[in-house]
Amino acid sequence: MESFSKRINNYLSLVKFSHTIFALPFALLGFFTATSLPGNEFTLHLLIFVLLCMVFGRSAAMGFNRYADYRFDMLNPRTRSREIPSGKISPRSALIFVIINAILFIVAAGFINKMTLFLSPLALIIILGYSLAKRFTSFSHLFLGLALSLAPIGAYISVTGRFDPVPILYSFLVLCWVSGFDIIYSLQDSEFDIKNNLLSIPVKLGIKNSLYLSALLHLIAVVFVVLSGLKSGSGLLYWLGSTIFTIMLTIEHIIVKPGDRKSILKAFGTINSYAGVSFCTFAIADLYLPLSF
């Protein structure tokens, strides 16, 4: 009989829990941007519920992605070893896992404030919708970017109960950043997608043009970094983090080589992890330790 710890590891692997590193720093940035404003106080229980929303929402989204795609994953040599195709988790169990996490997401949102509760079903539609968007549009990468872009604005609303320009700019930053690196990630499956009539930007535009579009999206992301800093009157630490972020994205496009899976994974995972964490760490530090030039 399978051990409990092994089952937990299977579900953590199902949802690629390590990939939380992409959205979580921006959720924390949105949260601390809000708590740094006059009239808003940091509370541990609120931070915990924001983090729970992140975990439950992402687990529901990624679990649904694996459930929706498992028939294609069985055909793709790169993905056959995933939990559902390999039989480690049944499709029924994965679907139950998704439903439980979706319910817990709404419950956690309800413990924050009325606006987050009201918006939680819409957020679920967006984050779950990515898995279905891939069947209807080549630009589903932008849908994934939209899903992750909810992190900073959602965390900000959790504290303030309202929309404001700076967290919205952060959300546009995430949208363009994530869409750009997801295009790079999808290069791995371009041949498989063509053979199986699946939609993606590399299939629609070709590899060379896809990389151009990815670079353009990352350039726009950097523009939103600058606009966010200017709008919030940020100090030295913010601009230092922005510089690191820009350098990381530049390196990403230098090292990626179509057909070289190792370079694609390094560009997608390692470089973007450093980019997001570095930027958000410096941006949060700047909120509490503003240094002038």
Report the domain count for the chain: 1
Find out whether 202 and 193 touch, Cβ atoms under 8 Å. yes
Residue 2 in any domain: the answer is no
Dihedral angle at the C-alpha atoms of 102, 281, 268, 165, nearest 10 degrees? Answer: 60
Q: How many degrees, rounded to 5, is the angle at CA 162 between CA 158 and CA 168?
A: 90
What six digits make up the tokens of 82? 């995933």
Measured CA distances, 85 to 16, 180, 278 (Å): 15, 28, 36
Residue 277 in any domain: the answer is yes
What is the predicted pLDDT for the residue at 1? 47
What is the predicted pLDDT for the residue at 229? 97
Residue 121 in any domain: the answer is yes
Residue pLDDT, tens place only, 178-223? 999 999 999 998 888 888 888 899 999 999 999 999 999 999 999 9
Residue pLDDT, tens place only, 240-281? 999 999 999 999 999 998 888 888 888 888 899 899 999 999
Q: What distance in Å separates the CA atoms of residue 20 and residue 59, rounded to the nearest whole number? A: 9
Q: Which domain holds residue 67?
A: 7-288
What is the predicted pLDDT for the residue at 89? 92
What is the predicted pLDDT for the residue at 12? 76
Residue 251 in any domain: the answer is yes
Question: 293 CB contacts (<8 Å, ≥6 apart)?
Answer: 235, 236
Residue 232 in any domain: the answer is yes
What is the predicted pLDDT for the residue at 135? 83
What is the predicted pLDDT for the residue at 249? 96
| CATH code, domain carrying 166 | 1.10.357.140
Residue pLDDT, tens place only, 64-79? 999 999 998 999 988 8
What is the average per-residue pLDDT within 34-49? 94
What is the predicted pLDDT for the residue at 3? 67
Find out whether 52 and 27 touch, Cβ atoms under 8 Å. no
Question: 248 CB contacts (<8 Å, ≥6 apart)?
Answer: 271, 272, 274, 275, 278
Q: What distance in Å separates the CA atoms of residue 21 and residue 196, rounded to the nearest whole number? A: 31
Instruction: State the maximum Cα–Cα separation within the chain, in Å, rounded to a whole number.
Output: 62
Find out whether 241 and 283 touch, Cβ atoms under 8 Å. yes
Residue 200 in any domain: the answer is yes
Q: What distance in Å separates the CA atoms of residue 284 and residue 276, rounded to the nearest whole number? A: 12
What is the predicted pLDDT for the residue at 11? 82
Residue pLDDT, tens place only, 87-137? 999 999 999 999 999 999 999 999 999 999 999 999 999 999 988 888 889
Q: 208: burial class by Cβ within 10 Å (0-12, 13-18, 19+)?
A: exposed
What is the predicted pLDDT for the residue at 18? 67
What is the average per-residue pLDDT within 166-182? 97
Q: 129: burial class by Cβ within 10 Å (0-12, 13-18, 19+)?
A: middle
Q: 2 vs 92, which has greater pLDDT?
A: 92
Find out whether 33 and 166 touch, Cβ atoms under 8 Å. yes
Residue 192 in any domain: the answer is yes
User: How many other β-carbons are positioned within 10 Å of the β-carbon of residue 106?
Assistant: 18
Find out whether 229 and 242 touch, Cβ atoms under 8 Å. yes
Q: What distance in Å separates the CA atoms of residue 229 and residue 114, rounded to the nearest whole number? A: 30
Residue 293 in any domain: the answer is no
Measured CA distances, 137 to 141, 171, 172 (Å): 9, 22, 20
What is the predicted pLDDT for the residue at 2? 56
